[in-house]
Structure 1
Amino acid sequence: MTQIDLESFGQFIQKLVREELEKFSNTQNHGNEKEFYTREETAKLLDVSLTTLFHWNNDGTLKNTKIGKRVYYSKNEVLARLNP
């Protein structure tokens, strides 16, 4: 049986907890990233009106995706529009 002093044991536990918190933090940050934006969020990000988004969808400038009765815009397409 191996014995360790109390201080070494405390440091070991702190290291394990720190590593687990970092893993948890990284998974939480990735989980918060959206794949789609609502019409309102998209209009705000692009600084345009909802009417402009409607016209852009009709002319193919920025296509939307409907899920049920709700309209969403792909994160990738919105970012591409932000950085032409």
Structure 2
Amino acid sequence: MDKAIILQSIDKETLSELISETVRVQLEEVLKSYSPKDSEELLTRAEVCELLKIDASTLWHWTNKGKVKAYGIANRRYYKKNELLESLILKK
């Protein structure tokens, strides 16, 4: 069955708020489903890019802007899974 969404008389700000709230709720549910073992897991750059479906350059920019925190061990960078997921939640 085809599902169609028809938007009538909705302003840009209201639509943006609806989308933001929906995404926030979904991300909170994902965070609740992870066990403490999962939350302390360290991920490589490649694993983070795959998890978040982003390009390496985007991860680099986010790290430099402080949106996500990287941990350096020798010449490698690692990211904590729980910190990554928390950084995705929209803060009001």
TM-score under structure 1 normalisation?
0.55
Q: Which residue of structure 1 aligns with residue 56 of structure 2?
A: 50
Say which SS state the counterpart of residue 52 (structure 1) adopts.
Answer: helix
Listed one character per residue, the Cα deviations across residues 31-59 of structure 1 (whole Å, up to 9, x for unaligned) are x8462100000011111111011100110
Which amino acid letter does the alignment assign opposite residue 39 of structure 1? Answer: R
**Larger displacement relative to structure 2 (33-42 or 53-62):** 33-42
| Identical positions, percent | 41
Q: Which has the larger radius of gyration?
A: 1
Taking the aligned partners of 1:62 and 1:77, their CA distance within structure 2 comes to: 7
Taking the aligned partners of 1:82 and 1:62, their CA distance within structure 2 comes to: 9
- On the 8 A contact 1:56/1:62 being kept in 2, the answer is yes
1:66 to 64, 67, 72: 72
User: Over aligned residue pairs, what C-alpha RMSD do you find?
Assistant: 1.9
Q: Which residue of structure 2 aligns with residue 76 of structure 1?
A: 82
Which one has a larger percent helix, Structure 1 or Structure 2? 1
- Within a 5 Å distance, the mapping from 1:20-39 to structure 2 comes to 33=38, 35-39=41-45
Equivalences, count: 54
- Within a 5 Å distance, the mapping from 1:11-22 to structure 2 comes to none
TM-score under structure 2 normalisation?
0.50
Residue 81 of structure 1 and its aligned partner are, at CA, apart by: 3.4
- On the 8 A contact 1:36/1:72 being kept in 2, the answer is yes
